[in-house]
Structure 1
């Protein structure tokens, strides 16, 4: 199975961008399948250079002009964040042949570092996409699983990174330990020069134990024994690496929205389980974290749904000072969707109370659709505007209304 390939939803969008832009960037967390995807689509016609290779990186960093003379387009450049000086030279090459599309396909697992270089040197010349780990639709197509519980269990206990599913003999615990070690050594230590790696590792584990909760920087600072400014920096690093996703509270005023504390979720629910030592089905469904894990899973599937279509996520959580809270608010062209997430199969009209309250309290939600995500298979109406629904059916609804 090592040579197997998992078909990715983003394939058609990448092809479209490669025929429209001189440069295409594909970001995403390490091991999400960026290199495999580009090689699968373009490997026959493109050369390939990885800056994970120290010799190749040395040339790209110290003599980027010589690097691009050696590696001629069309070219895939892997982990390009290691050589910021490369981008100005790419700009020169691209400007010399403005009508040639798809000259350079660039990957990177540090999206903020790449974005900084893109905006400074390649604005208007580059198309930017992000490849998340496997979505439930991709995982379902590859494994044949279709039941919500089965797909959730698979995402928790085996994760959503392609290699864990392609290599049937892969040991999940050992793979995640290696993943974390590689991430900390290659990215955190090399790119950000963090001195206390032990404290950083402890921070990641504590954050995983509080998955889906509003970030309390002061509490994290006190628990780990580092400054609040350090916690903020570490949060930014994890977000830049595609390890975590920050979900901000809904507010009509964007400035107010960004000033409020976000919730932190992990892009891969399997990593959260690994960091919390959840390795069996029995542990998973008996865990006090089960509700947060299902919430993490569902919200990240909505995020993946957006990224796989090349769209910006317009999602939030809703909370009032009086305690009314809705897990997820999705803003689409057809209006808002208010979503509650419950790890069970119980159908109870009281579960919809928070959605109804939000509809009454916020005029923007007056005509919203309401959904309650559960482990159930059937879609059941709970009034004219609210439904109990599975994650997979919800994603289909969101695609239709976007």
Structure 2
């Protein structure tokens, strides 16, 4: 059993908001975390993919009114969008009667319909949290390279062998393509979307060129953009935006694209284990994406992530912009003897970040030059968590 860092924040939000939406991909651990929030006799769990549980909500206002003394957990709530209006009425009635917060915990495996419906209907009544796959702090008992190779989904990470882990991820991908994607968007042939998702894995950490992707897939650019939007909304793919401040430089304007879980990158590319990964062309980009996702799982939600690149070759892999305008420049290296390149120095001269850091696979922290420090991923994650 892994201890999730989101647990205290979830309890805090339930104490201060009548409804909380917990978002994250399937199988990331949302249900386990939700059921840990209240003892069995103090929660009602309803899985809206279950016909039996949907039948219990045939008269939702009547049913939910009988359980106002418990935390009602609604899993896959996007499958019943009509419930949001009922929840709004019950929450408002409860406020008038002085009833407590923490009435409803809504679980969703995508942000599309859930954010659209609840954002409009439950505005001012709901808090949003995202549960990421396991990060290096939550899976501290596991070897770092196993977490990188298998990814952060608990069942994949804890599989008894690399072969079983890969099989789990392949089944996960198939389930999304054949069952989950059709629930959220226009019907897309599973084979087409799998090819597209695999293309993105090959392009891990590259600048997004929608026109080229569209040509390779044989669709128009608008269709390719819609596919990317869908995978981003399903919390499976990330667009990392470029830094956009006007500093008198020709800046890259296209985002970078990442498949968010490293284990899914490897499954899409048929990389069976760590040894095969280390000899694969994607190894550097996979490590970069793995580091970025772990760091972004640990930063406060008010911190904005970017990358920085100019036409002159200045580049920063990850730029963290803090609310007070402070910038942290982070370079990501796979080598255990990292070296800082000229592009990073040039970028830091442009932006004047307050912190200059190089993340590498080791554990020792040491200086790499004036104001630049190399450190391991867990150490930086701990520092970011302490600032949350």
TM value normalised by structure 2 = 0.91
Match of 1:294 in 2: 287
State the Cα distance separating 1:243 from its structure 2 match.
Answer: 0.5
Q: Which residue of 1 aligns with 2:318?
A: 328
Residue 210 of structure 1: CA displacement? Answer: 0.7
Residue 355 of structure 1 is matched in structure 2 by 344
Runs of 5+ unmatched residues, structure 2: 247-251
Report the Cα offset of residue 63 of structure 1.
5.5
Higher alpha-carbon deviation: 154-163 or 220-229: 154-163
Q: TM-score, normalised by structure 1?
A: 0.88
C-alpha contact (below 8 Å) 2:113/2:184 kept by paired residues: no
Name the count of aligned residue pairs: 377
Pick closer, same or farther for the CA change 1:71–1:165 going to 2, 3 Å: farther
Cα deviation for residue 302 of structure 1 reads 1.1
Q: Deviations over 1:123-182 (max 9, x none)?
A: 111111110000111111xxx24xxxx40x212332211123455468112211211122
**Structure with bigger RCO (C-alpha 8 Å, 6+ apart):** 1
Structure-2 residue corresponding to 1:377: 363
- 5 Å-filtered alignment, 1:4-153, equals 5-44=1-40, 45-57=42-54, 64-65=60-61, 68=64, 73-98=70-95, 99-140=99-140, 144-145=141-142, 150-151=143-144, 153=145
Q: 1:75 to 1:360 in 2, by over 3 A?
A: same
Cα distance, 1:117–1:390 mapped onto 2, change above 3 Å: same
Separation in 2 of the partners of 1:23 and 1:217?
38
**1:154 alignment counterpart:** 146
Gap runs ≥5 in structure 1: 254-258
Kept in 2, the 8 Å contact 1:339–1:355? The answer is no
* Aligned CA distance change for structure 1 residues 139 and 248 (closer, same or farther; 3 Å): same
Alpha-carbon distance change, 195 to 272 in structure 1, aligned in 2, over 3 angstroms = closer
Moved more, 187-196 or 276-285: 187-196
Deviation at 1:67, TM superposition (A): 5.6
Shift of 1:21: 0.4
User: Take 1:401 and 1:100, find their aligned partners in 2: how far apart are those partners?
Assistant: 30
Distance in 2 between the 1:28 and 1:128 partners?
11
Instruction: State the alpha-carbon separation in 2 of the partners of residues 399 and 190 from structure 1.
Output: 35
Q: CA RMSD in A?
A: 2.3
Change over 3 Å in CA distance of 1:191–1:54 after alignment to 2: farther
